[in-house]
């Protein structure tokens, strides 16, 4: 069984690494946050001392990091993965980053004989814990096939969508749909409550019809409880939409709805809500309309 390096064991990476350990994989963990790393070591992981060290001691390396700059630094920087990796190894890059960055990193690794898959995820902390994430993968089919068993420990659905960069592009599409869907749920529920109808009864009435969605099912109850402990932090969705809009500009793609939801999220962040769950978009509509969706 392959020995896996796992770099980035925060809210998402920690349960993903735990699931691998529980399935019998040897894991070498690394994170700048010593508290987060300590939890993974308590699950049975070995301690890594740098990305270079992790790469030198493992067969396959997984990264789960905040954004493009962190991934570039961990993979290509001083004491980075590229300095410890050797021909035949595979990097599974599971962070949500810009597709062009993913392609550039893969190109530099390939020059050293190291293969790469870009494999961002969707589902948040809850699905990371249950091992049921949706994983969208870009890369060579043979590399995907060789590593699919590892990915299936962490994901309920694992899909190869194209070459390097395609996984990240698919994740950007996912984040656009999720952001706009959450905003639509909040906007509509505020309308219903202002009209004097119980939003929970609206939810029960529409969830099985065409308006039903995973976003409605997962996020509307949070709105009714006024509970926004993060499964996926608002600031991370802002980061993803920044990558969306950057990619849209490069491809000359007009994205008016995404631009509008991004402005809502940034307004919430400026109001001190950067750390709440992205379902906290409801707070924007509550402030705008002077009403609360929280059940009284």
Q: 148 and 173, same structural domain?
A: no
**In the block, which residue shows the tokens 């202002």?**
194
Confidence band for 198, pLDDT divided at 50, 70 and 90: very high
To the query of whether residue 104 is one of the catalytic residues in this protein, the response is no
Residue 35 maps to a domain: yes
CA 149 to chain centre: 20
Determine which one of 18, 47, 140, 171 is catalytic: 171
- Sort residue 18 into left (φ over 0), alpha (ψ -120 to 50) or beta: alpha
Report whether pLDDT(231) > 90.
no
**In the block, which residue shows the tokens 């009284």?**
296
Q: 126 and 85, same structural domain?
A: yes
Helices vs. strands in the chain: H and E counts, helices first: 14, 9
CATH number at residue 22: 3.40.50.720
Q: 124 and 60, same structural domain?
A: yes
CATH number at residue 220: 1.10.1040.10
Confidence band for 208, pLDDT divided at 50, 70 and 90: very high
Range of the domain at 84: 3-164
Among 164, 195, 211, the domain boundary falls at: 164
Q: Give the pLDDT confidence of 58-116 residue by residue, as tens digits.
A: 999 999 999 999 999 999 999 999 999 999 999 999 999 999 999 999 999 999 999 99
Q: Which two tokens stand for residue 118?
A: 């870009």
Cα–Cα distance, 76 to 70 (Å, whole number): 10
Q: 159 and 181, same structural domain?
A: no
């Amino acid at each position: 069984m392959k020995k896996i390096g796992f770099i980035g064991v925060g809210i998402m990476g920690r349960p993903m690494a735990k699931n691998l350990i529980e399935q019998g994989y040897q894991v070498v963990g690394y994170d700048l946050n010593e508290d987060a790393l300590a939890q993974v070591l308590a699950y049975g992981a070995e301690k890594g001392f740098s990305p270079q060290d992790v790469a030198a001691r493992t067969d396959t390396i997984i990264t789960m990091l905040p954004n493009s700059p962190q991934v570039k630094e961990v993979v290509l920087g001083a004491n980075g993965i590229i300095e410890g990796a050797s021909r035949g190894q595979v990097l599974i890059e599971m962070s949500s980053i810009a597709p062009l960055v993913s392609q550039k990193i893969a190109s530099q690794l390939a020059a050293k004989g190291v293969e790469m898959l870009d494999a961002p995820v969707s589902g948040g902390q809850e699905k990371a814990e249950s091992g049921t994430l949706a994983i969208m993968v870009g890369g060579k089919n043979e590399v995907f096939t060789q590593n699919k068993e590892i990915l299936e420990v962490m994901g309920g659905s694992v899909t190869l969508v194209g070459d390097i960069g395609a996984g990240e592009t698919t994740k950007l599409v996912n984040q656009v749909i999720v952001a706009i869907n959450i905003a639509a749920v909040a906007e509509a529920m505020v309308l219903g409550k202002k009209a004097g109808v119980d939003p929970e009864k609206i939810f029960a009435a529409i969830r099985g019809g065409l308006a039903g969605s995973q976003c409605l099912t997962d996020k509307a109850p949070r709105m009714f409880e006024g509970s926004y402990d993060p499964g996926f932090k608002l600031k991370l969705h802002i980061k993803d939409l920044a990558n969306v809009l950057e990619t849209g500009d490069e491809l000359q793609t007009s994205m008016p709805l995404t631009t509008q939801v991004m402005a809502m999220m940034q307004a919430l962040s400026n109001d001190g809500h950067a750390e709440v769950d992205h379902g906290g978009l409801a707070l924007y509509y509550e402030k705008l309309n002077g009403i609360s969706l929280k059940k009284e």
